[in-house]
Chains A and B, each alone.
Chain A
Amino acid sequence: NAGVTQTPKFQVLKTGQSMTLQCAQDMNHNSMYWYRQDPGMGLRLIYYSASEGTTDKGEVPNGYNVSRLNKREFSLRLESAAPSQTSVYFCASSEESPSWSEQFFGPGTRLTVL
């Protein structure tokens, strides 16, 4: 099992460009999440999907959109990238609600916006 996979691993964008970060899990988990991690800020939740067909905003959703394509895949889109979106992005999944369920993280996407 690959666990949680993310593509791409690295990306450099110019301000105003758009891109989609891809995430897939092969553990048959119901819930999936997108976080960003910035130096000195810790991990912050952008969006989550409690189950296939549902998505909800997290702590820092502005500037992002998500799609839960199917049970396996959860993508994050930046419509018009800004330098403030330079960060490391982690996708995660859990069997159920994270209140009692371990979250498994992907290896991350390192995004730089110039």
Chain B
Amino acid sequence: RKEVEQDPGPFNVPEGATVAFNCTYSNSASQSFFWYRQDCRKEPKLLMSVYSSGNEDGRFTAQLNRASQYISLLIRDSKLSDSATYLCVVNGWDSGYALNFGKGTSLLVTP
């Protein structure tokens, strides 16, 4: 079983829509959670960390549910520039230096 699982999409949404992605992880001992963004043929970049109490950064809201072992990302008022692949990331098998990356969820925002 893959340690971090995401729906690959693609999610096609119109500008201004709200879209949500979910991610599940298998290691109940995981302590660190992140969302990274990756544009086509580019490197991943940190979008936001995910905290236990949930956190918001502008139009982006991240939530963590430890009991069900899932993480969510909500994007409000989608922009064309939000089109990208969103990677769910959880600290890994050795709980130290390894990060486990999900395969990513593809988002396309259309005019």
Give residues in A with beta carbon < 8 Å to B: 31, 33, 35, 40-45, 48, 50, 56, 58-59, 90, 97-100, 102-103, 105-108
Q: Is the interface of A mostly helix, strand, loop or mixed?
A: loop
Work out how many contacts link A and B, with CB atoms closer than 8 A. Answer: 55
Are A42 and B104 CB-contacts (below 8 A) given A98-B91, A100-B32?
yes
CB distance from A60 to the nearest CB of B (A): 12
CB distance from A52 to the nearest CB of B (A): 14
- Contact yes or no, A99 B95, CB < 8 A: yes
Please report the C-alpha to C-alpha distance between residue A50 and residue B42 in the assembled complex, in whole angstroms: 25
- Contact yes or no, B103 A48, CB < 8 A: no
Give residues in B with beta carbon < 8 Å to A: 4, 31-32, 34, 42-46, 49, 87, 91-93, 95-99, 101-104
CB distance from A77 to the nearest CB of B (A): 20
CB distance from B33 to the nearest CB of A (A): 10
CB distance from B12 to the nearest CB of A (A): 20
Please report the C-alpha to C-alpha distance between residue A107 and residue B43 in the assembled complex, in whole angstroms: 5
* Extra A-B contacts (5), CB below 8 Å, given A48-B97, A90-B44: A35-B101, A45-B98, A90-B43, A102-B34, A105-B43
